[in-house]
Copies of this chain bind each other. A is one copy, B any other.
Amino acid sequence: MKVWRINTRTKKLAIESPPDNWIPLGGRGLLARIMLDEVDPTCAPLGPNNKLIFAPGLLVGHRLSSCDRISIGGKSPLTGGVKEANAGGSTGLQLTYLGIKALILEDMPPDDEWQLIHLSSNGIRFEAANELAGLGVYDTALRLLERFGEKVAIALIGPGGEMGLASAGIQNLDKDGVPSRIAARGGLGALMGSKRIKAIVIDSADGQKPHIADTSAFRAAQKDFNKALMAHPQTQSYTDFGTSAMTNLCNTLGAMPTRNFSSGQFAAAEKISGEHLRQLLLSRGGPSETTHACMAGCTIRCSNVFGSENGDVIVSPLEYETIGLMGSNLDIDNLDDIARLNWEVNDLGLDSIEIGAALGVAANAGLLSFGDAARALELLREIRAGSPLGRILGNGPVTTGRVFNVERVPAVKGQAISAYDPRVIKGTGVTYATSPQGADHTCGLTIRAKVDHHDPTIQIDLSRNAQFSMAGYDTLGACVFAGFGFAATPLTIRDLLQARYGRPFSDNILQDLGRETISLEREFNHRAGFTPADDRLPEWMTREPLPPHNTVFDVPDKDLDHIFDEI
């Protein structure tokens, strides 16, 4: 596996062997390592010294269920710190088939011409892409698939990334060619836009699957993993209801973001629940699907296709975070409305969490009424138009709160809190506060732990373990839901890696990788100027009790400050 280094100014490719300290890592861990080795932590995120890096996880390339994710990273224009965002789809797989351990985009062009980069076993070529500028990701993907054939993988940005909006992500094609798998968080789409790259097209037709050192050992471990995954009760739940299974759980616990995080229970929660979503899709039929895989080989298939009453597709997939942030958080209880908002955000290439949170803050600023889905859609169209208001919102809730003087901004390190109110699920609050990535449930969600989520004294260990595990999965390229299987058979991770790479791995490789990753990320952030003062929830969440439990976030600062003492 090689490192492909592309200079976006000179348009030259260098293919290099990875240095020794990069070899044991992949995905999120490798990104952190590369950034620490090569990126000045104080550089301007959208200047020539930042780099945009793609790194498939260590287990990518074998269609292991839920284990072909691509990690994308750089210094975040949103948080100013280290950033990794990962996604399913086919990008990770095809990069791996081309033997690419890491793809590093450097520098920036001297002019404003849009380019696309085509990757194949013949190397790279830049092509003019001005005719794609301003197009949404759906149209862009269609045109590129027409031009380059239906089998390519594509990572691309929408108008949001072109405008440099700090909530812009990078979309990736799912296994069916739909650009819906977004590496959403932290503004990496703006970073790609700063290098004037509209799309990266990956054609691995002449590539090959990565070598497995011990095929039979690999298959044996894979079998154990699959068996455990299929046996886990949550697997069936996610197949049936997708991530929106979370709605009822979160609402029952009183942690559902509602009207800009002013309540933890949403009166109309049932209408946006996974159960209701499933019934609706089943009753509509046509293109609607209650279950759908984003990556080839996934057995969970937590995704879905949301069709309208008229039999056309509104969006695919409709996920819990969007339902929380653009539904209950905005007092919008109609799934059709939420799905339409979701399509618009996707097409713009923006993070629905960040935008949903920005709209919640905008509602507090009087720019829309809670519950007014038509106005919310209008505001998304302001983003598309690039109006001052649209650009404010597109930069996320912190910018929105700053401009409109709203203190109630749900964000940590500049990044929006996702759909679990940390005043109730306090372990997740610890994750939001202390993750080097900024507020992000995928960095260590604790909602399923059998603990008293209100007790501020027991959350630190819970969050730390979850953060190590998640950083580990992100380094493997494994979806969090692969954890249903791995948690039951933890040694299969070791066995898969040993079989794949033909060298020994520790029994605790998941946590070891996670610990190392977070250690590297914290070092980068430290050099970028982060301190314990950044490892805090917004002050108002420590003052303002959340109904119905009327709790505040009260995990002591000193506990937050010591969570990573051991690394």
User: CB within 8 A of A533: which of B41, B391, B533, B540?
Assistant: B41
Residues of B within 8 Å of A49, CB to CB, are 539
A417 on the B face (CB < 8 A) = no
Of chain B, the residue at the smallest CB distance from A533 is: B529
| Cβ-defined contact, A44 with B404, below 8 A | no
Residues in B whose Cβ lies below 8 Å from that of A504: none
Instruction: Tell me the bound Cα distance from A538 to B47 in angstroms.
Output: 11
* Complex interface bits, A511-555 against B, C-beta within 8 A gives 1, otherwise 0: 000000000000000011111111010111001000000000000
Q: Which of A198-206, A215-223, A282-290, A395-403 contacts B (4 or more CB under 8 A)?
A: A395-403
Chain A interfacial residues counted at CB < 8 A: 38
Contact A403 B407 (CB under 8 A): no
Instruction: Knowing A387-B388, A533-B529 are in contact, say whether A166-B539 is a contact too (CB < 8 A).
Output: no
A133 at the interface (CB under 8 A from B): no
Within the complex, the shortest CB–CB distance from A47 to chain B, in Å, comes to 6
Copies per complex of this chain = 2
Q: A448-487 toward B: CB 8 Å interface, digit per residue (1/0)? A: 0000000000000000000000000000000000000000
A289 CB to closest chain B CB, in angstroms?
A: 38
Output the residue of A46, A392, A405, A539 with the most chain B CB within 10 A.
Answer: A405
Q: A529's contact among B166, B407, B534, by CB below 8 Å, is which?
A: B534
Given A399-B402, A539-B49: A44 and B533 within 8 A (CB)? Answer: no
Question: Quick one: which of B46, B399, B533 contacts A403, CB cutoff 8 A?
Answer: B399
Residues of A23-69 at the interface with B, using a CB-CB cut-off of 8 Å, are 41-44, 46-49
Task: List residues of A whose CB falls within 8 A of some B CB.
Answer: 41-44, 46-49, 163-166, 190, 387-389, 391-392, 395, 399, 402-405, 407, 527-534, 536, 538-540, 543
Chain B residues positioned under 8 Å from A166 (CB to CB): 402
Known: A528-B533, A533-B528, A534-B529. A405 touches B190 (CB 8 A): yes
Chain B residues with CB below 8 A from A46, complex form: 405, 407
Shortest distance between the CB of A167 and any CB in chain B (Å): 12
Cα distance A402–B388 in the bound complex, in angstroms: 11
* Option from B43, B190, B404, B532 in Cβ contact (under 8 Å) with A539: B43
Bound-complex Cα distance A41 to B463 (A): 26
- Say which residue of B392, B530, B533 sits within 8 Å of A527 (CB atoms): B533
- Residues of chain B lying within 8 A (CB to CB) of residue A403: 388, 391-392, 395, 399, 403
